[in-house]
Amino acid sequence: MTGRATYGFDTLQVHAGARPDPATGARQTPIYQTTAYVFRDADHAAALFNLQEVGYIYSRLTNPTVSVLQERVATLEGGVGAVACSSGHAAQIMALFPLMGPGLNVVVSTRLYGGSITQFSQTIKRFGWSATFVDFDDLDAIKAACDDNTRAIFCESIANPGGYITDLDAVAAIAETQGIPLIVDNTSATPYLCRPFEHGATLVVHSTTKYLTGNGTVTGGVVVDSGKFDWSQNDKFPSLSQPEPAYHGLKFHETFGNLAFTLHGIAIGLRDLGMTMNPQGAHYTLMGIETLSLRMDRHVANAKTIAKWLEADPRVEFVTYAGLKSSPYFERIERICPKGAGALFTVAIKGGYDACVKMVNGLEIFSHVANLGDARSLVIHAASTTHRQLTIEQQIAAGAAPNVIRFSIGIEDVNDLIADIDQALAQATSDI
Amino acid sequence: MTQNPTDPMLRKIFAETKTLACVGVSMNPIRPSYFVARYLSLKNFRVIPINPGHVGETLFGEEIYADLASIPKDIQIDIVDIFRRSEYVPPIVAQAIEHLPNLKTIWMQVGVTNAKAAEMATKAGLQMIENRCPKIEYQRLFGELRMAGFNTGIISSKL
């Protein structure tokens, strides 16, 4: 180790968390395909179970391949630690679990991935939790929505299906006043474009399925802790600040300081909810992250070029991409995501719903899939798929109205992508 | 707060340390001070427990003393690790300076800081560390925290 305090993003995305395998010298991180790990002796086993030592016990909790991924994402986000899990949706539950309890609520942006809206508006009710949805451009409404039972504020940095950038600094200031953490889903931006902790966020969640893996191979998620939140500042977070009955009365925050949230995620979250990432999945995601910055630069450049081209086309009604000067959120780019507004946006085509369906059917290079952040360009009609469970009002609030399609721009040759869109638009609007 | 040592300095401190005195160590196995003392003794540091409520008993094979002044002169203390509330720290540091001729480092645990004590220690030529835990720093520097997904800051392609 050189002892240097900081390294560039491009170095960290290749190296952070990894080292040559101490047993074999293998340079690439091996896939440790094992469920359990041998203890040195009974004392070692007891110390591990008591959290007095850190080590591998069982792969539901920790695994050497998964650990490399966790440290890598934690490092890229500038956090203290991370817990990987089986999907982005699992990460959201893992982030909320230490904070919430029956009767408690989370204040949530209306501009979210449709699946997250359903998870928060419906499924978490089974735990006795609830969510209050607010337009995050209305800061007074966020404040008004926070009550004595609110335990977190949740939003996306660059919101799916694109075109919206949350003013993270303003929202974080509200969370700080309330003595609660701001949780930011940074999936669409990745830590290359946006670093939510630098804007006051406490926790970051990712669907690693998207840009981090970048090749559409595996689902995964991760929760990253900034390590900056004082869980003992009030009595709102007893699972972290008070003796935790699920871990023989251990006080996580007092015992582990700023490592508390991450260790709680392993020792209670993964232990008892079991939404673990597997080592194969971590391997694919680590492969992807090695090239994250290179891909994101291309994703953003292609998205900008295509959004501009579409905006100038008479067959298009409007394009909602924050990277366009016409966007009301254009001025937030420099502050929130200085390397670009991502590669997701929606397009409204003249001819409405029918034209959207024809457009999706007419595309050749673009894949019609329910995913984003792949190296391949993707397209979806959100209102009839990813945002289908929502009311029309929720769809419009989320930026997924019936007359728009969502593009996730890939890293192919931009001229080929434009030519594909051009011919599909011609088919879609031929009757107009 | 004083400037805490860099990672290379911390490595040097650990390498040069044989014996620590742990002030305010608890006999309760789920208290942080018990964790830390136990861990450091497992890592082959000699840990001298200080707790006036348990004088004469033993913890991890070492006799418990009432205070730093009561440690026998033949035990050379390299680090005093303090598990007391910040306001109680200055007399502990004063006693450490007076009675422990081999002392090199005063280490205040996570949540513990005291400017007056830091000034005394620095004037006496001691290394000051505030608001840190030696167990966490040891685990971070020597790869253990890596196993639980923590950001260790270590970048190296060496075996």
Share of chain A above pLDDT 90, in %: 84
Cross-chain residue pair A71–B7, CB shorter than 8 Å? no
> A240 pLDDT exceeds 70?
yes
Q: How many whole angstroms separate alpha carbon A320 and alpha carbon A308?
A: 11
Would B2 be classed as within a structural domain?
no
The pLDDT assigned to A2 comes to 40
Q: What is the DSSP track for A285-331?
A: HHHHHTTHHHHHHHHHHHHHHHHHHHHT-TTEEEEE-TTSTTSTTGG
The pLDDT assigned to B134 comes to 95
Would B20 be classed as within a structural domain?
yes
pLDDT category, A390, cuts 50, 70, 90?
Answer: confident
Of the two residues A391 and A366, the one the predictor is more confident about is A366
Cross-chain residue pair A12–B155, CB shorter than 8 Å? yes
Residues 6+ positions from A231 with CB-CB distance below 8 Å: A237, A240, A241, A252, A253, A260, A261
Give per-residue pLDDT as tens, B28-79: 988 889 989 999 998 999 999 999 999 999 999 999 999 999 999 999 999 9
The pLDDT assigned to A255 comes to 87
Residues from chain B that touch A248, judged by Cβ atoms under 8 A, are 30
> A19 pLDDT exceeds 80?
yes
Nearest-Cα distance to chain B for A257, in Å, is 7
Q: How many whole angstroms separate alpha carbon A305 and alpha carbon B36?
A: 56
What is the domain-level CATH number for residue B62?
Answer: 3.40.50.720
Of the two residues A391 and A260, the one the predictor is more confident about is A260
The pLDDT assigned to B1 comes to 56
Q: A18 is written with which tokens?
A: 């990894």
> A68 pLDDT exceeds 90?
yes
A411 backbone dihedrals φ, ψ, rounded to 5°:
-110, 20
Domains defined along chain A, listed by start: 11-288 (3.40.640.10), 292-428 (3.90.1150.10)
Domain that holds residue B13: 7-148
The pLDDT assigned to A291 comes to 98
Range of lowest pLDDT (A146-160, B45-59, B139-153): B139-153
Q: Which of residues 63-102 of B touch A (CB under 8 A)?
A: none
The single-letter DSSP state of residue A246 is G
Residues from chain B that touch A195, judged by Cβ atoms under 8 A, are none
Question: How many CA atoms does the CB half-sphere of B55 hold within 13 Å?
Answer: 8
Cross-chain residue pair A81–B155, CB shorter than 8 Å? no
Evaluate whether A356 touches A403 at the Cβ level (below 8 Å): yes
Average pLDDT over residues A248-253: 91
Q: Nearest chain A Cα to B110, which residue?
A: A257
Nearest of B59, B57, B81 to residue B68 by alpha carbon: B81
Residues 6+ positions from B82 with CB-CB distance below 8 Å: B23, B24, B89, B92, B106, B107, B108, B109, B112
Burial degree of A25 (CB within 10 A; 0-12, 13-18, 19+)? exposed
Would B36 be classed as within a structural domain?
yes
Q: How far does CA B100 lie from the centroid of its chain?
A: 14
Q: Which among B111, B147, B149 has CB closest to A82?
A: B149
Cross-chain residue pair A22–B159, CB shorter than 8 Å? yes
Q: Which of residues 111-150 of B touch A (CB under 8 A)?
A: 111, 133, 136, 139, 143-150
The pLDDT assigned to B2 comes to 66
Chains A, B: CB pairs < 8 Å: 112
Q: Nearest chain A Cα to B36, which residue?
A: A52
> A1 pLDDT exceeds 50?
no
Cross-chain residue pair A74–B150, CB shorter than 8 Å? yes
Residues from chain B that touch A56, judged by Cβ atoms under 8 A, are 147
Q: What is the DSSP track for chain B?
A: -PPPPPHHHHHHHHHT--EEEEET--SSTTSHHHHHHHHHHHTT-EEEEE-GGGTT-EETTEE-BSSGGGS-TTS--SEEEE-S-GGGHHHHHHHHHHH-TT--EEEEPTT---HHHHHHHHHTT-EEE-S--HHHHHHHHTTTGGGGTB---------
Q: Which of residues 266-305 of A touch B (CB under 8 A)?
A: 266
Give per-residue pLDDT as tens, A327-343: 999 999 999 999 999 99
The pLDDT assigned to A385 comes to 82
Burial degree of A6 (CB within 10 A; 0-12, 13-18, 19+)? exposed
The pLDDT assigned to A395 comes to 85
Tell me the ipTM for this assembly: 0.87
Phi/psi class of residue A78: alpha, beta or left (left: φ > 0; alpha: ψ in -120 to 50)?
Answer: left
> B80 pLDDT exceeds 50?
yes
Range of lowest pLDDT (A140-144, A310-314, A400-404): A400-404
The pLDDT assigned to A3 comes to 46
- Any chain B CB within 8 A of the CB of A175? no
Q: How far does CA B15 lie from the centroid of its chain?
A: 14
Residues from chain A that touch B156, judged by Cβ atoms under 8 A, are 1-2, 15, 19
Q: Which among B111, B136, B155 has CB closest to A15?
A: B155
Question: What is the largest distance, in Å, between two alpha-carbon atoms of chain A?
Answer: 77
Q: How many whole angstroms separate alpha carbon B70 and alpha carbon A266?
A: 42
Tokens 């080292």 correspond to what residue? A19
Would B45 be classed as within a structural domain?
yes
Range of lowest pLDDT (A6-15, A79-88, A220-229, A345-354): A345-354
Residues from chain A that touch B157, judged by Cβ atoms under 8 A, are 15, 19-20, 27
Domain count, chain B: 1
Residues from chain A that touch B5, judged by Cβ atoms under 8 A, are none
Q: How far does CA A300 lie from the centroid of its chain?
A: 17
Evaluate whether A242 touches A264 at the Cβ level (below 8 Å): no
